[in-house]
């Protein structure tokens, strides 16, 4: 029975795209891809998944049409609800920032972008406090 379950799980996982797992690299999923996602480097030297999510949210604030991404094997989804992450494209999305937290992140990001002359902050400029 266990062998059959293992075989079934491997068949389900087969063909599922995986998020890149490079250490400290925040990836953006290239917009306009209908098949398996293609990734481009957004930033290197990123300390954690939350910081990568903030960088992706910054792209959304700048008006980018699609700002989903990935960090160390996890997909990050930035849409109108909570910012979430999942191990697969269609897996359960665990919240990273709920709407009230996201509002605080947005306020701080806008301030950093304005003080940086309209440029996105570097990962080292982002300091997250969890409440």
Written as six digits, the tokens of 67 are: 């700002």
User: For residue 130, is it within any domain?
Assistant: no
Residue 3: inside a domain: no
Q: Give the pLDDT confidence of 2-54 residue by residue, as tens digits.
A: 444 444 444 445 578 999 999 999 999 997 766 788 999 999 999 999 999 99
| Residue 88 domain boundaries | 17-117
Q: Percentage of the chain with pLDDT > 70?
A: 84
**Position 113 in a domain:** yes
Query: Stretch 60-76: mean pLDDT, rounded?
Result: 93
Query: How many domains are contained in the chain?
Result: 1
Chain centroid to CA 22: 14
**Is residue 63 in a domain?**
yes
Nearest to 73 by CA among 90, 91, 86: 86
CA-CA distance, 5 to 116, in Å (whole number)? Answer: 53
Within a domain: residue 11? Answer: no
3 state DSSP class of 72 = coil
């Amino acid at each position: 029975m266990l062998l059959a379950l293992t075989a079934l799980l491997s068949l389900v996982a087969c063909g599922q795209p995986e998020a890149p797992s490079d250490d400290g690299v925040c990836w953006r999923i290239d917009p306009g891809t209908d098949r398996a996602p293609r990734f481009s480097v957004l930033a290197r030297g990123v300390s954690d998944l939350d910081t990568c999510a903030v960088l992706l949210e910054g792209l959304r604030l700048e008006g980018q049409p699609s700002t989903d991404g990935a960090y160390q094997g996890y997909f990050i989804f930035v849409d109108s609800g909570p910012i979430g992450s999942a191990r697969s494209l269609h897996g359960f999305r665990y919240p990273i920032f709920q709407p009230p937290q996201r509002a605080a992140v947005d306020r701080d990001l806008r301030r950093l972008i304005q003080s940086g002359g309209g440029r996105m902050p570097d990962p080292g400029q982002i300091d997250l406090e969890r409440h």
